[in-house]
């Protein structure tokens, strides 16, 4: 568990560093970047419940009943969160952008691996549910300095800082309480590593756009 927590801590530091650099640059959070972020989250969370229900249905969960129960409830809590991202975009009188490449890669990878290696997907979930842990004040500063930021168009970001829904703490606790074997723990760590790389690529795209197109 210590190695998994280390991966989470590293992901938090890397996200906070990106946000601090954004503040230090003087550019702040621009509207187009925020629309890209919400669009990314819309596509990433649309249908996310299927992964958690697949993990819960895996034969390994037969002996991990508390974890299975948590995942089923978690799936249905997360099921409609993509609509919150949509409403935030609509509150800005904009449309959701097409799905970016990194979200497509995330879904392509996890749609397949979740079938036989469910704990890799859970490792990535540990990252997504905890990655903002060191970014609270930075997010506050970015949003406070945005002309477009209101309570009507920041609902998704507010919820997923996990102050209202502490899913990050909950999933770590249920994993602590479960009898995870060595192979499953190794998969959790792998998933945390891979999830960090992929999600931070999505954040980089959200903040900076398509760097390839800029260089053409």
Per-residue pLDDT of the chain (216 residues; tens, 9 = 90+): 899 999 999 999 999 999 999 999 988 999 999 999 999 999 999 999 999 999 999 999 999 999 999 999 999 999 999 999 999 999 999 999 999 999 999 999 999 999 999 999 999 999 999 999 999 999 999 999 998 999 999 999 988 875 556 788 899 999 999 999 999 999 999 999 999 999 999 999 999 987 655 544
Q: What is the 3-state secondary structure (H, E, C) of the chain?
A: CHHHHHHHHHHHHHHHHHHHHHHHCCCCCCHHHHHHHHHHHHHHHCCCHHHHHHHHHCHHHHHCHHHHHHHHHHHHHHCCHHHHHHHHHHHCCCCCCCCCHHHHHHHHHHHHHHHHCHHHHHHHHHHHCCHHHHCHHHHHHHHHCCCCCCCCCCHHHHHCCCCCCCHHHHHHHHHHHCCCCHHHHHHHHHHHHHHHHHHHHHHHHHHHCCHHHHHC
As a whole number of angstroms, the distance between CA 138 and CA 132 comes to 10
pLDDT at 216: 41
pTM above 0.85, yes or no: yes
As a whole number of angstroms, the distance between CA 205 and CA 216 comes to 16
What are the tokens at 168? 């990050």
Domain positions in the chain? 2-23+30-209
pLDDT at 164: 57
pLDDT at 167: 81
pLDDT at 194: 98
Was domain 2-23+30-209 assigned CATH 3.40.50.1820? no
């Amino acid at each position: 568990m210590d190695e998994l927590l280390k991966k989470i801590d590293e992901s938090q530091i890397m996200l906070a560093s990106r946000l601090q650099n954004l503040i230090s640059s003087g550019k702040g959070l621009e509207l187009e970047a925020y629309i890209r972020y919400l669009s990314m989250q819309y596509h990433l969370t649309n249908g996310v419940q299927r992964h958690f229900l697949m993990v819960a249905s895996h034969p390994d969960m037969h002996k991990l009943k508390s974890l299975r129960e948590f995942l089923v409830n978690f799936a249905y809590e997360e099921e409609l969160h993509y609509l919150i991202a949509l409403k935030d975009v609509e509150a800005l009188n904009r449309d959701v952008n097409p799905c970016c490449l990194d979200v497509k890669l995330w879904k392509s990878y996890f749609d397949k691996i979740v079938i036989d290696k469910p704990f890799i997907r859970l490792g990535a979930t540990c990252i997504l549910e905890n990655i903002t842990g060191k970014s609270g004040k930075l997010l506050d500063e970015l949003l406070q300095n945005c002309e477009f930021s209101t309570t009507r168009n920041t609902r998704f970001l507010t919820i997923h800082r996990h102050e209202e829904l502490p899913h990050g703490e909950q999933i770590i606790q249920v994993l602590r309480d479960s009898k995870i074997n060595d192979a499953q723990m190794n998969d959790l760590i792998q998933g945390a590593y891979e999830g960090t790389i992929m999600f931070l690529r999505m954040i980089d795209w959200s903040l900076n756009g398509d760097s390839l197109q800029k260089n053409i």
